[in-house]
Chain A
Amino acid sequence: MEKITGAAMLLKSLLCQKTELIFGYPGGAIMPIYDALFSYNKKIRHILTRHEQGAIHSAQGYSRVTGKTGVCFATSGPGATNLITGICDAMLDSTPVVCITGQVPSNLLGTDAFQEANIISMTTSITKWNYQITKANEIPFVIAKAFYIAMTGRPGPVLIDITKDAQFELTEYEEKLFSFENLIKINNSGYLNNISLAINLINKAKKPYLLVGHGVTIAKAEDEILKFTNKTRIPVASTLLGLSAFPCNHPLYVGMLGMHGNYGANILTNEADLIIAVGMRFDDRVTGNLKSYAKQAKIIHIDIDPSEINKNVICTVPLVGDAKEILQILINGVEKNNHDNWLKKFRECDDIEYQEVIKKDLEKSDEKEIKMAEVINLLSEKTNGKSILVTDVGQHQMIAARYYKFTNNNSHITSGGLGTMGFALPAAIGAKLGAEEREVIAIIGDGGFQMNIQELGVVMQENIPLKIIVLNNSFLGMVRQWQELFFENRISSTEMHNPNFIKIIEGYGIRANKAENHTELNDYLDELLASKESYFLEVKVIKNENVFPMIPAGAGVSDVRFS
């Protein structure tokens, strides 16, 4: 049998997993793998990012739009540690990513060798699994296991660290299929005992309320959610990561939950008699103060991860398993119904929210100043809510979530759990490479844009037709908002003196424009959407705008502020 290097074996193993695209950055301890990659460049496309954080966020964006496992490479030491934020982000947002890191030769492990970092220890608590390979013959099995773990059950990141000597080592290779059936125990039938209980509660409820989370998108259960709601006529709200799992123009859609969510969607949580939570984890941004969260309601919690059950909110009926399968059973069991009076309450709240917030957000003042909501609302209208939006973290993220009316599934990508500034640009690059046929638009604030601005080099080098909109208010806006509201307006280190973004973008050979009034905004948005190439639009927005409604941290979902 022919002998090949561990590095070549890694690439063969990745091909066995149908890997087509890798994001990465080379360095000393991973050079044998990059050398082997040279021979595989017709089968595997490698995207040279400008920073390892860019590599993992791109892999996340790719994974989120394709549903496949994202793959990234980094060298040892700083290369590996630069992945850490992205790994943690992928863990919190349940994104399957396999990170391959080079490591110093095994005889140098533990000696503080050049670029040696104990990445296994560092990532133990933020990966589903990690493993250090020191022998080439381990590679096929470990890589297959890594992909299985990343994708099975609740998805998440896996890190495989490969010592340099293992990458060089010559070993016999034979393509094998590995089985990991019992590795992750998923109780696929555990929910069956509770199904009739759940159906009974749903049929009897007078004010039922369906909460849709990211798990619906991961399970590809969007059609089932539609069928379920069309039959039961239960009002539907979405978490931040659940956005686009249910069409925003559906008559039963009542809005987004959470700190900056919709008024009715939040306060009526405390009036519902039954909450059906699908693929969401009752995050503190959604529940506010748990002591006053939905105490009157019975709760059916559908989630594939048993550790989420009763973690934050004690549920009446747990249904642990795949959301798609469970919903299919529920659809057959529940009765046709309608809850028009209950739905009317949400619409009454919508009217209040419109008068208190939305009208002001969308109203054009006589002045030239542009509001963030105006940008997103216009973009939503011009695209019919059909684009993939990749947002960063901060005010613009909340405004995009509130005002973009998603009509296509799997169209909202953001850093929800970790709240990673700098996420959007590289994640949008990955998303565009994963969904070339769709319009991908990155919406970023001026702060987050400068956290991974170097990834514009990837857009340039790979000629990626990505659309980028930076909402520039020359502030770290969300922090400034909190300083104004909760820290006696002591504006501490949040004002930004920004560079000339247009000149920077032009330096990357990307077409760029800056909108400073309503007419320019309209015209440049048309140009951006018509462009077949990458396009950057900076929008100068009002400096001191705040995002409302808002539930202050630690307050209950009923304690909504409009100003």
Chain B
Amino acid sequence: MNSTYVISIIAENTLDIFQRLSVVFSRNRLFINQFNFEASKQNLNSHFYIEISTDEIKMERVVKQLKKIIELSDIKAVHKNHFNTNNKDVYLCQN
């Protein structure tokens, strides 16, 4: 059953980080509902919030594939209903 998830990613702010992330979604044929990005003040890291609709198995697979990106330092995925935009406190739902 499809649900909407928010994937929160912290990654090194490199030239091609957008592409590295996007190929994982495209090869799994996942449309991105929402994509938000902010760079840290020092501009060393980027923080991405990516909203997708899919089933849990595919979401888990995508998260594991994203974890293989060398520039990625942290990733958390959460059901959209549990996502708190105020404190951006997301739960790690898959290891």
Which residues in A have some Cβ–Cβ distance to B below 8 Å? 120-121, 124-125, 128-129, 132, 149, 183-185, 306-307, 309-311
Complex-state Cα separation, A56 to B35, whole angstroms: 37
- A184: chain B residues within 8 A (beta carbon): 70
> Given A124-B23, A125-B23 in contact, is the A307-B61 Cβ separation under 8 Å?
yes
B70 to chain A, nearest CB (A): 5
Complex-state Cα separation, A306 to B67, whole angstroms: 9
- Other-chain residue from B16, B64, B70 in contact with A120 (beta carbon distance below 8 A): B16
Kindly state whether residue B34 has any CB partner on chain A within 8 Å.
no
Complex-state Cα separation, A306 to B65, whole angstroms: 9
Q: Are B19's CB and A121's CB within 8 A?
A: yes
B73 to chain A, nearest CB (A): 9
Q: Are B68's CB and A128's CB within 8 A?
A: yes
- Other-chain residue from A124, A125, A311 in contact with B61 (beta carbon distance below 8 A): A311
- A sample of 26 inter-chain contacts (CB < 8 A) reads A120-B16, A121-B16, A121-B19, A124-B16, A124-B19, A124-B23, A125-B23, A125-B27, A128-B68, A128-B70, A129-B70, A132-B15, A149-B70, A183-B70, A184-B70, A185-B67, A306-B64, A306-B67, A307-B64, A307-B65, A307-B67, A309-B64, A310-B57, A310-B60, A311-B61, A311-B64
Q: Are A124's CB and B67's CB within 8 A?
A: no
A124 to chain B, nearest CB (A): 5
Complex-state Cα separation, A461 to B10, whole angstroms: 51
Q: Are B68's CB and A307's CB within 8 A?
A: yes
Complex-state Cα separation, A41 to B69, whole angstroms: 36
- A183: chain B residues within 8 A (beta carbon): 70
- B79: chain A residues within 8 A (beta carbon): none
The size of the chain B interface, using a CB distance under 8 A, is 14
Residue of A nearest to B61 (CB): A311
Complex-state Cα separation, A120 to B23, whole angstroms: 13
Contact with A along B33-74 (1 / 0, CB 8 A): 000000000000000000000000100110011011010000
- B27: chain A residues within 8 A (beta carbon): 125
- B61: chain A residues within 8 A (beta carbon): 307, 311
- B65: chain A residues within 8 A (beta carbon): 307
Kindly state whether residue B20 has any CB partner on chain A within 8 Å.
yes
B13 to chain A, nearest CB (A): 14
Complex-state Cα separation, A185 to B67, whole angstroms: 9
A321 to chain B, nearest CB (A): 14
Complex-state Cα separation, A306 to B60, whole angstroms: 11
Residue of B nearest to A153 (CB): B68
B23 to chain A, nearest CB (A): 4
Q: Which of A149, A183, A311 has the most CB of B within 10 A?
A: A311
Residue of A nearest to B24 (CB): A125
Residue of A nearest to B19 (CB): A124
- B20: chain A residues within 8 A (beta carbon): 124
Q: Which of B15, B19, B23, B70 has the most CB of A within 10 A?
A: B70
- A120: chain B residues within 8 A (beta carbon): 16
Complex-state Cα separation, A262 to B65, whole angstroms: 33
Complex-state Cα separation, A184 to B70, whole angstroms: 7
A159 to chain B, nearest CB (A): 12
Complex-state Cα separation, A252 to B49, whole angstroms: 52
Complex-state Cα separation, A309 to B57, whole angstroms: 12
Q: Which of B19, B27, B65, B68 has the most CB of A within 10 A?
A: B68
- A129: chain B residues within 8 A (beta carbon): 70
Residue of A nearest to B26 (CB): A125
Residue of B nearest to A182 (CB): B73
Residue of A nearest to B68 (CB): A307
- B15: chain A residues within 8 A (beta carbon): 132
Q: Which of A121, A124, A185 has the most CB of B within 10 A?
A: A124
Complex-state Cα separation, A129 to B15, whole angstroms: 13
Complex-state Cα separation, A44 to B70, whole angstroms: 29
- A124: chain B residues within 8 A (beta carbon): 16, 19-20, 23
Residue of B nearest to A306 (CB): B64
A484 to chain B, nearest CB (A): 33
Q: Which of A121, A125, A129 has the most CB of B within 10 A?
A: A125
For the complex of A and B, the 9 pairs showing the least CB-CB separation, nearest first, are: A307-B64, A125-B23, A129-B70, A124-B19, A124-B23, A307-B65, A124-B20, A306-B64, A121-B19
Complex-state Cα separation, A125 to B19, whole angstroms: 9
- B23: chain A residues within 8 A (beta carbon): 124-125
A425 to chain B, nearest CB (A): 31
Complex-state Cα separation, A210 to B90, whole angstroms: 40
- A149: chain B residues within 8 A (beta carbon): 70
B77 to chain A, nearest CB (A): 14
- B68: chain A residues within 8 A (beta carbon): 128, 307
Complex-state Cα separation, A90 to B84, whole angstroms: 41
Residue of A nearest to B23 (CB): A125
- B70: chain A residues within 8 A (beta carbon): 128-129, 149, 183-184
- B64: chain A residues within 8 A (beta carbon): 306-307, 309, 311
A306 to chain B, nearest CB (A): 6
Complex-state Cα separation, A310 to B61, whole angstroms: 8
Complex-state Cα separation, A132 to B15, whole angstroms: 10
A504 to chain B, nearest CB (A): 40
Residue of B nearest to A132 (CB): B15
- A311: chain B residues within 8 A (beta carbon): 61, 64
